[in-house]
A and B are shown apart, each in its own frame.
Chain A
Amino acid sequence: MKFLAHLRSLAARFFHRSQTEDEIEEELRSHIQHRVEDLERSGLDHDKAERGARIEFGSTERFKEECREELGGNFIDSVIQDFRFSFRTLRKSPAFFAVAVVTLALGIGATVAAFSVVNAVLLRPYGFSQPERLLWIYSQRPDNARTNFSLPEYCDYRDQNTSFDGLGAIASYNVSLSDLGQTERVQGVRMSANAFEILGLRPLLGRALSAADDRNGAPAVVMISYGLWSGRYGKDQAIVGRSVNLNGESREIVGVLPSSFALPNLDTDIVVPLQPDSDPRRNARNSVNFLRMVGRLKTQVTAPQAHAELDSIRQNLHRQFPDTYTGKVGITIVPLTEEIVTNVRAVLLTIFCAAGAVFLIGCTNLAGISLSRAGARQRELAVRTALGATRSQLTRLLLVESFILAMIGGSLGLLLEIWGQAFLLRLVPTDLPRIATFSIDSKVFIFAFFVTLVATLVCGLAPAWLLSRSDLRDALVSGGRGSSGGGMQSRLRTWLVAGQIALALVLLANAGLLFRSFARLSSEQPGFDSSNLLTVRFSLPGVTYPDRAAIVQFYEKLQPQLAKLPGIGSVALVSILPLAPKSISFIHFTRPDRPPGKPEDTPSTNYRIVGPDYFRAMGIPLFAGRYFTEEDDGNRPPVAIVSTVLANNHFPDRSPIGQRVLIDDTDGNPRPVEIVGVVGPVKQTNLETPAKADIYLPLRQIPKDGVPFLRNSTYWVLKTSPGAPAIEPLLRAAIRNVDANVAVGDVRPMTEVMAAALASRRFSLLLVGSFAGAALFLAAAGLYAVISYGIQQRTQEIGVRLALGATHGSILGMIFKEGSLLLGTGIAAGLAIALVVAKFVANQMYGVSEHDPFSFLVVSLLLAAISLLACWIAARRALNVDPVVALRAE
């Protein structure tokens, strides 16, 4: 009721401002005229009566103002007035204005940019319906919790479980895509067609795959990603229904995937139906493991229950087929949406927090500056109070001022973010899921607005708080110098600066730890020589390369062509390049004279197929035996080369040369190969984990079941002589010469492949490092400001001291003592915080402890040095004080 009345009066006031204004005027005038008439009636003449009535009434202007205020709508007027006034004030101090706006623009820009990446990768919905019920499922082995299932295994889980509303299977599928006369390598997945229904995913265009697409003899179809659609096809709205050629087979595009779509550790340029039930491997129990599973939990079922059920199915299979399922010791079950971002979440949050810390330091810096300004303006504010301004009105004025600054800074920051988006995208490592379709959406805008409000409050409330604590009448009397508020103000500023130093130290420590990890990792020996090494990846169309003979023939045609290129040393083929992203291939093997005690103890090793010159081209040293030769072909007994890791672990008792191992690399039973050489260890998957066991097989002896894998993805490595000309065009031409239908991927120097392996670390180091640099600068600037402000306030005191014979040294000492106290407090607090938060970055460390004393010491010294420098620059001004001038300053 009251509230409604209030609203009504506010609305009336707002929409009929001049009308209400007139009414107040008229009402007061009517009062005075009534009074005048009464006074005249009591015998006064008109003039005297009029004057008397006015005096009795008091200040009409003041009461009109009070009436307006009672009406409520006045707030808007006052705020508008405050805005006008603030603009005038800010115009009068352009330096402050510029510093504030730039600080805020950078702080808000950085925070919003970090948020937009976090939003694109972590927060944006995936387009799945009820994603919390979606689980991603791996087969668990003794040495690896995340391995694949075989096709018959998947079908068993799918058909026997009762916990899921559907269980889908997904395999990676790298093929060459050609249409419109262009061939391109694309990385996608084969997915059981029920998976779309399980995910609850709506296509952007056309239709999603449906169960019908998995039936035997269904038409060949494909869905393409948003990225492929917008890149290769220029967002062609009529794309649905067009035919494309995948590995030589024609498929019809039936739909486009939404841009938010992603799957864990899989690229999804294209999706084709898996057709599990018509697959030749449907009943081959011993066939290759290449599938991951995704399931939607039934509403009444919990994840642990589902896990228990799948595990009991696994145990049944284990009993039924003891030989085949030896190494499969469990099931790993993880929420799908968590698995997609599991590797990047910590990194992104670190970056986001670092940006937030810089923003906070920037805000506190501004709060410090506005505190000084409020101190300097105390006289002005005191006069305003004396003239009737209330404290809340003054607070409002200060908040309006910081709001103006924050809005301008925030808008500039947002613009900066929008302009810098392209640059940011270049910086971001490509293995961040969904980053390619990153955009600035409403959430980013809301966040930017929220950050701006925080900035307003932080910068505006500090001086307002000061105001509430100080007696402004003192300011009038003492002329704004040495008033009680001054002490309060400098104490508050001191705390703010100590806080800034602490925050800056936390950031620096984090950057230092990341840098040490990065340096350690970069100096790791990968086991090969990446200099002057060129790599190229391609896939061969399945139709023209059905078997080993065809692949070998292609190899024999291409090898001499490549060797002829200018400046080429050795050329070789390899199935998977070391440090290539998202590529895993490993097999199980046994030493016949030492069968494993339990089947699940069967050891595993990385599995690579190579050309004879591979080790020479890569500079992988040979420790015993021999390299492969062109004579190691299908007519000779199968041979293998192993790494020292495998040799040391499994042949500690004798030389492995001439020994046989049984390797399980076919759909049939394990087959024997003879070890003919031992080479150095190589970090195959990443630089972080130590080299594991490797086994290499010669290209000419690959088993039939290995053909599809080699066809989908093959790398060539070319050792060039130093300073060799750019041969990429010649290389592409040579491959086109041999077969124009081969899809050639990127041609990259091996150094670039290694850099890519470090890209995500470089990204976070670069960002956290620059944030730490900004924090260092801001904290030093804050310290400088507070010290020089102190000196300015004490010019007179310093003058007296100098006049009484104090040396420059003692004055400097006095200033430095203050500075170091502040610095010491800040650093101590910062170290304490940094040690506590270090555990959140522990998993990003490599080769250093997250409490690495060296890093902490170095960054503390760095911070101390820069801060003391700032102190010294400020202090020099104190020494230039002329005692006579200082004493006259009063």
Chain B
Amino acid sequence: MSNEAELLPGTLDLLILKAVSLGPLHGYGVLLRIGQISGQALLIEQGALYPALFRLVRQGVLKASWGRSENNRRAKFYELTSTGRKRLREETDGWNRLAAAIASALAAQPQEI
């Protein structure tokens, strides 16, 4: 359990965008992909994925279409729109800045002050 981390609020959307940016996915696929790219470190409540997907579709950053999954089941596939790609770039930059700032803050030593 020690290598699992709770998601920070607001980061689920970013992870979904990233996962989908690597190729169109259905909902369960998004879940697997996030597990795969995060090294199984992030814990996601499975059902919570869907309200997030619906929200992103409504915001126009994802588009959805019905298709066939690899095990030949009907499934709804999500892919990024151009707004979505832009949003992903912006949020990635934002996240990196935030992470760098926090990392630098946490690395501060008494003599540096």
Q: Is A95 part of the contact surface with B, judged by Cβ < 8 Å? A: no
Residues of chain A lying within 8 A (CB to CB) of residue B71: 34, 37
Q: Is B59 an interface residue (CB 8 A)?
A: yes
Stretch from A51-59, A258-266, A477-485, A868-876 contacting the other chain: A51-59
Q: Which residue of A lies closest to B75 (CB)?
A: A30
| B47 contact from A4, A26, A59, A72, Cβ within 8 A | A59
Report whether A33 and B73 are in contact in the complex, using a CB–CB cutoff of 8 Å.
yes
In the complex, whether B69 has a CB less than 8 A from a CB of chain A is yes
Query: Which residues in A have their C-beta under 8 angstroms from that of B47?
Result: 28, 57-60, 62-63
Given A2-B59, A30-B27, A30-B73: A67 touches B50 (CB 8 Å cut-off): yes
Contact of B46 among A27, A33, A58 (CB under 8 A): A58
Inter-subunit contact B27/A5 (CB<8 Å)? no
B48 near A58 with CB under 8 A, answer: yes
Residues on A with C-beta less than 8 A from B31 are: 31
Q: Indicate if the CB atoms of B76 and A23 lie closer than 8 Å.
A: yes
Q: How far is the CB of B26 from chain A (nearest CB, A)?
A: 7
Chain B residues contacting A58 (CB-CB under 8 Å) are 45-48
B50 near A28 with CB under 8 A, answer yes
Q: Which of B28, B50, B60, B69 contacts A1 (CB 8 A)?
A: B60
Interface centre among B27, B46, B47, B54 (most CB of A within 10 A): B47
Tell me if A754 is interfacial: C-beta within 8 Å of chain B: no
* Cβ–Cβ contact A63 & B73, under 8 A: no
**Which residues does chain A contribute within 8 Å of B48, judged by CB atoms?**
58, 63
Looking across the interface, which residue of chain B has its beta carbon closest to that of A5?
B60
Contacts of A1-29 to chain B: CB distance below 8 A: 1-2, 4-6, 9, 23-24, 26-28
- Is A179's CB within 8 Å of the partner chain B? no
Q: Which residue of B lies closest to A35 (CB)?
A: B28
> A1-B83, A30-B28 known; A56 and B46 CB under 8 Å?
yes
A344 contacts B by Cβ under 8 Å: no
Q: Could you give, for residues 30-42 of chain A, a 1 whenever the CB lies within 8 Å of some chain B CB and a 0 otherwise?
A: 1101110100000
Chain B, residues 43-81, CB within 8 Å of chain A (1/0): the string is 001111011001101111000000001010111100000
Distance (whole angstroms) from the CB of A35 to the closest CB of chain B: 6
B51 and A27 contact, CB distance less than 8 A: no
Q: In this assembly, does A69 line the interface, its C-beta being within 8 Å of a C-beta of chain B? A: yes
Q: Which residues of A contact B26 (CB under 8 A)?
A: 30-31, 34
Is A66 among interface residues, defined by CB-CB distance under 8 A?
A: yes
- Interface check A458, CB cutoff 8 A: no
Are B76 and A71 in contact, CB atoms less than 8 angstroms apart? no
Residue of B nearest to A55 (CB): B46
CA distance A37 to B83 in the complex (A): 34
Q: Shortest CB–CB separation between residue B8 and chain A, in angstroms?
A: 20
Give the shortest distance, in Å, between B50 (CB) and chain A (any CB): 5
**Is there a chain B Cβ closer than 8 Å to A728's Cβ?**
no
**Contact partner of B58 among A34, A57, A71, CB < 8 A?**
A71
Q: How many positions in chain A have a CB within 8 Å of any CB in the partner chain? A: 30
CA distance A31 to B75 in the complex (A): 8
A77 surroundings in chain B (CB, below 8 A):
none
* B51 in complex: contacting residue of A1, A9, A35, A69, CB < 8 Å: A69
Name the residue on B nearest A37 (C-beta): B71
Q: Once the chains bind, are A30 and B46 in contact (CB under 8 Å)?
A: no
A156 contacts partner chain B, Cβ-Cβ < 8 Å: no
Q: Are B58 and A27 in contact (CB under 8 A)?
A: no
Which of A5, A27, A56, A60 has a CB less than 8 Å from the CB of B76?
Answer: A27
> Within the complex, which residue of B51, B55, B74 is in contact with A30, where a contact is CB–CB below 8 Å?
B74
Report the minimal beta-carbon distance from B39 to chain A, rounded to whole angstroms: 18
A62 and B27 alpha carbons, distance in the complex (Å) = 17
Closest-CB distance, B93 to chain A (whole angstroms): 20
Q: How far is the CB of B48 from chain A (nearest CB, A)?
A: 7
Say whether B69 contacts A34, CB under 8 Å.
Answer: yes
Q: How far, in angstroms, from A37 to B28 measured CA to CA in the complex? A: 12
**Cβ of A71: which chain B residues have Cβ within 8 Å of it?**
54, 58
Alpha-carbon distance between A4 and B28 when the two chains are bound, in angstroms: 28
Q: Which of A52-87 contact B (CB under 8 A)?
A: 56-60, 62-63, 66-67, 69-72
Q: Closest CB of chain A to B110's CB: distance in Å?
A: 42
**A71 to B48 Cα, complex, angstroms:** 15
Residues of A within 8 A of B28 (CB): 30-31, 34-35
In the complex, which residues of chain A have a beta carbon less than 8 angstroms from the beta carbon of B45? 58
- The complex places the Cα of A872 from the Cα of B89 at a distance, in Å, of 72
In the bound complex, CA of A70 to CA of B64 (Å): 15
Which residues of B lie under 8 Å from residue A62 when comparing CB positions?
A: 47
> Contact between B73 and A70 (Cβ–Cβ < 8 Å)?
no
Bound-state CA distance A72–B59 (Å) is 11
Using CB atoms, name the residue of chain A closest to B29.
Answer: A34
- The answer to whether B74 and A26 touch across the interface, beta carbons within 8 angstroms, is yes
Bound form: Cα–Cα A583–B51 in Å: 79
Q: State whether B60 touches A31 (Cβ < 8 A).
A: no
Within the complex, the shortest CB–CB distance from B12 to chain A, in Å, comes to: 13
Asked if A2 and B75 make an inter-chain contact with CB atoms under 8 angstroms apart, the answer reads no
Complex CA gap A63/B45 in Å reads: 11
Residue of B nearest to A62 (CB): B47
Residue of A with least CB distance to B45:
A58
State whether A67 touches B27 (Cβ < 8 A): no
A2 near B74: Cβ-Cβ < 8 Å:
no
Known: A9-B58, A57-B46, A70-B54. A27 touches B27 (CB 8 A): yes
Interchain nearest-CB distance for B53 vs A (Å)? 8
- In the bound assembly, the distance between CA atoms of A2 and B55 in angstroms comes to 11
Q: Which residues of A sit under 8 angstroms from B50, Cβ to Cβ?
A: 24, 27-28, 31, 63, 66-67
A26-B74, A28-B50, A31-B46 known, 7 other contacts, Cβ within 8 Å: A4-B60, A5-B59, A27-B75, A30-B26, A35-B28, A57-B46, A63-B47
The 10 A-B residue pairs whose C-beta atoms are closest, nearest first, are A66-B51, A5-B60, A70-B54, A63-B47, A58-B47, A34-B28, A70-B55, A57-B46, A67-B54, A31-B28
Identify 11 residue pairs between A and B in the complex whose beta-carbon atoms are under 8 Å apart, listed by A's number: A2-B60, A5-B60, A24-B50, A28-B47, A30-B76, A31-B28, A56-B46, A60-B47, A63-B48, A67-B54, A70-B55
A residues sitting closer than 8 Å to B (CB atoms) are 1-2, 4-6, 9, 23-24, 26-28, 30-31, 33-35, 37, 56-60, 62-63, 66-67, 69-72
